[in-house]
Amino acid sequence: MWKTILCGVVLFIATLSTMLLSPDFQYCENHQSQYPASNALGDKAATLQVPTSERSGFSTFYACAGAFVHSNADGITAISTLLLTLVTAGLVYIAIVQANTTRAQLRAYLMPESVGISDAPGDPRGFYWHVGFRNTGQTPAHKAASFGDIRVISPDNESQLAVSSVNQPATFAVGAGIPFPKQGWHTRQLTEAEREGININPPTHAIYVYGRVEYFDVFNVKHYTNYRYRYNGQWPPNGQLLSVPSEGNDAN
């Protein structure tokens, strides 16, 4: 709002300065108040008869301002129209910004708040991963769908962990402040080379938990959250947290 007020003040000062510095206005002031141009004076302003008792600074300014407006009516109308257009555009812009701000404050945000991996010795499915999400927004999320997976690869191949759009019929709603889980299995135990690879420095292997959540907010706008976490260290992890890579984590 203050930007609009500042622009209005600047435009007013610019308009006033244009009038005060114009040759017609200065000629009028130098000749104790003049009136619009007269052909007999070679397009100069004709003398305006103002009683001596009324020839104060304000009277002179008022008379000369009126003469300036009368002489430049078309230009002033054009400038006024332009200023009105600019002010209207500014008000529309402010309304759009306020609407976007309100939506951003009220919409749903599905974000991961905890990520972990747990060993299951002797289980043929290997070890499992789990991600805890929460709607940190103020309104429910609708038609939510999620995808997640786990991979054991070299950190050099991290960029190959592609997250595709979620295309599954099963969707769900998540209320404001409500958590929901996502989990799965690695389907096999780590090999000896993988266990050693995640524990050395620099590592030759890393465990990645990654995925994507898509959902609609109460304004029926589609959003997504991509996440990617990495683990390096001793095996089993003993509750150690996964680290967040520099890439693969973004949302809209």
pLDDT of 104 higher than 90? no
Least confident range of 20-24, 160-164, 190-194: 20-24
Among 240, 130, 226, smallest CA distance to 179 is for 130
Which residue intervals of the chain bear CATH 2.60.40? 110-251
Specify the pLDDT at position 46. 53
The partner residues of 238 in beta bridges, in order of sequence, read: none
**Nearby residues of 174 by Cβ (< 8 Å), 6 or more positions away:** 108, 110, 133, 135, 140, 141, 144, 180, 215
CATH class of the domain whose range is 110-251: mainly beta
Q: Is there a contact between 153 and 160 (Cβ–Cβ < 8 Å)?
A: yes
What is the DSSP secondary structure assignment for residue 83, as one 8-state letter?
Answer: H
Specify the pLDDT at position 32. 55
**pLDDT confidence band for 34 (50 / 70 / 90):** very low
Least confident range of 55-64, 101-110, 136-145, 157-166: 55-64
Structure tokens at 179: 């958590």
| Span 25-47, average pLDDT | 57
Compare 149 and 74 and report the one with higher pLDDT.
Answer: 149
Compare 155 and 170 and report the one with higher pLDDT.
Answer: 155
What is the DSSP secondary structure assignment for residue 177, as one 8-state letter?
Answer: T
Residue showing tokens 């991600």: 131
Structure tokens at 11: 């435009």
* Mean predicted lDDT score pLDDT of the chain: 81
pLDDT of 23 higher than 90? no
Specify the pLDDT at position 152. 95
Q: Is there a contact between 122 and 35 (Cβ–Cβ < 8 Å)?
A: no
Compare 162 and 53 and report the one with higher pLDDT.
Answer: 162
CA distance 109 to 174: 10
Residue showing tokens 């404001």: 176
Among 177, 242, 178, 175, smallest CA distance to 211 is for 242
| Span 76-88, average pLDDT | 77
CA distance 168 to 173: 14
Q: Is there a contact between 223 and 144 (Cβ–Cβ < 8 Å)?
A: no
pLDDT tens profile 140-163: 999 999 999 999 999 999 989 988
Q: Is there a contact between 142 and 216 (Cβ–Cβ < 8 Å)?
A: yes
**pLDDT confidence band for 85 (50 / 70 / 90):** confident
**pLDDT confidence band for 4 (50 / 70 / 90):** low
Compare 229 and 87 and report the one with higher pLDDT.
Answer: 229
pLDDT tens profile 204-245: 999 999 999 999 999 999 999 999 999 999 988 877 778 998
Determine what percent of the chain is predicted with pLDDT higher than 70: 75
**Nearby residues of 183 by Cβ (< 8 Å), 6 or more positions away:** 128, 129, 130, 131, 148
Q: Is there a contact between 232 and 208 (Cβ–Cβ < 8 Å)?
A: no
